[in-house]
Chains A and B, each alone.
Chain A
Amino acid sequence: MRRALLELLLLGVAGSLVGCWVLLYELAYSTESLAHALFPGLVVAALLGLPLLAGGAVGVLAAAIAIAFVGRIPLVERDTGVAVVITSLFGLGVVLALSPSSPPGLESLLFGDLLGVTRGDLVISGVLVAATGAAVVTLHRPLLVAGFDRGSAGAFGAKPFLVDAALLVLIAVGVLVGVQALGNLLVISLLVGPAAAARQLVDRLPAMMGLATVFAWTSAIAGLYASYYLDIAAGAAVAAATVAMFLIAALVGVLRDT
């Protein structure tokens, strides 16, 4: 339980920092798609007994290549390409997961295995969270400029294509780190929920990132308590607490502005 909490606190920092940019760049759908796309990678890694992180990384790479490839087919728009690739990959993952040779416990890939977090997982998360934090601080100015007015970003020294690529890498890392604890289906709650809740209440980016982290931590503690006392799945309880946090923030935001 203590490891689960520590893992969630670490993920809360990375998820909130990256999550604020996910919202500002309107990439929530792409982020969710990315999480689903790496599913076959996770399943193959589980079937072969390899580290999930490695499988997920290969899955993300395969998805990116597939999306780039489909995007080159005439008359296929980017959204359509993403939808086709993601559905195909997720379907492939499910077929693999439900094959007779699958080891038990593959549902943890979908919903996470928060209480099974090992000391090694924590170390990996710690390193990746530190790297994400450093990257968010370093990339802050180009991200801010390119997101504010994409069309004229070049005149201010920002290269939108490179900024997008860097942000996608950050999102992929965030998803990869979070997917072990919260699973393929719930990791999106970590990357979007706290940032969306914070956005309802503050109008400055540093404050938004700070408040999102506080919300993520609060959801983590509330979710784990709920899981323990109500005997429900930990990952789902944390995701539900994040949603509740968002609804409360949205209500407070609306009441404050009226």
Chain B
Amino acid sequence: MHDPNAVTLVEARGLSAGYGTSVVLEDVEFDLRSGERMAVLGPNGGGKSTLFRLLLGELEPFAGELVKNTAAAFVPQTERSRLDYPVSALDVALMGTLSRLPWWRPNGRRERRFAREALGRVGLAELADVQFGELSGGQRQRVLVARALVQDAPILFLDEPFVGVDRPSEELLEQLFADLAEEGRGIMVATHDIEQTYRYDRVLCLNTRQVALGPPVQTLSRDVLETTYGGAIVTLPGEGRPAAILPPHHH
């Protein structure tokens, strides 16, 4: 968003969506530009995953318009992948080639080299041949990020990539996202961790509808956070920022 030459990668206008006849997300309106890192903040059930399903084309919107101008790579929540599957970290990273290479063509030396490089970028070059299920939670998450790097798309969607991730993995991934944005990619990260969103260019707050959108420091006011989480905000002494959310009051 600092770059005047940035192009719009995703554009959402008046988007609403849901399942069956029930609407779970409405009034969503944003654009994601090249080189931008956007956090999607909201509670469980707030519509983050629904938004991602829309963005990935797995769900049709009830109303509104969603334009995706280019291909997207995806990092799903790590607990969705099978740990008993007979694959190495390299095998998982290589799965990213399916969206680029025709499905009937076996992976060649070029794809293997690319996948190893991607594992190197997430700091797992040494563990490429280790069974995926034997890696730690943070390492598995990094393998899934490597798989998205192999997809090599201008957009990267990540669904809660920091859940169950150790501190070194988190720092490495944050630096990687900054580097990827520097390369001109647009990055959207779903999270429910308020503190984390301050490291991103903009934050999109969702709670069954769009609550706010903008740079975190200006956007994450007490009102916005209370509306996003449907609770009361606690500010700890000496802290400038809201630090905790209390559950909503029941009258």
Q: Does B87 contact A (CB under 8 A)?
A: yes
Tell me which of B72, B76, B87 contacts A152 (CB under 8 A): B76
Interface flags, B179-213, vs A, CB<8A=1, else 0? 00000000000000000000000000000000000
Which chain B residues border A142 with CB–CB below 8 Å? 98, 103
Q: Shortest Cβ distance from B189 into chain A, in angstroms?
A: 15
Interface residues of B in 56-106 (CB under 8 A from A): 56-58, 72, 74, 76, 80-82, 85-88, 91-92, 95-101, 103-104, 106
- Cβ A156 vs Cβ B86 within 8 A: no
Distance in angstroms between the alpha carbons of A99 and B81 in the assembled complex = 51
A210 to chain B, nearest CB (A): 12
Number of interface residues of B (CB under 8 A): 29
**Which A residues are CB-close (under 8 A) to B57?**
154
Q: A141-B107, A156-B95, A203-B131 are in contact. Are A147 and B82 (CB under 8 A)?
A: yes
Question: How many angstroms from the CA of A84 to the CA of B92 in the assembled complex?
Answer: 39
B139 within 8 A of A: no
Whether B99 contacts A157 by the Cβ 8 Å rule is yes
B87 near A156 (CB under 8 angstroms)? no
Tell me the A residues contacting B by CB distance below 8 Å: 24, 137-142, 144-145, 147-149, 151-152, 154-158, 199, 202-205, 208
Note all chain A residues with C-beta closer than 8 A to B104: 138-139
Count chain B CB atoms within 10 A of each CB in A139, A147, A202, A203 and give the residue with the most. Answer: A203
Q: Assuming A148-B92, A149-B76, is B81 touching A157 (CB within 8 A)?
A: no
Q: Which residues of B contact A140 (CB under 8 A)?
A: 106
- Whether the pair B151, A156 counts as a contact (CB closer than 8 A) is yes
> A141 and B76: CB pair below 8 A?
no
Known: A148-B92, A158-B98, A204-B87. 10 other contacts (CB 8 A): A24-B85, A139-B103, A141-B97, A141-B103, A142-B98, A147-B85, A148-B85, A156-B96, A157-B103, A203-B131
Assuming A137-B106, A138-B104, A205-B87, is B98 touching A155 (CB within 8 A)? no
Question: With the chains together, A145 CA to B98 CA distance in Å?
Answer: 8
User: B: which residues have CB within 8 A of A?
Assistant: 56-58, 72, 74, 76, 80-82, 85-88, 91-92, 95-101, 103-104, 106-107, 131, 147, 151
Return 7 A-B CB contacts under 8 Å, by A number: A138-B104, A141-B101, A152-B56, A154-B57, A156-B96, A158-B98, A158-B103
Taking CB atoms, residues of chain B closer than 8 Å to A138 are 104
Q: Is the CB of B74 within 8 A of A144?
A: no
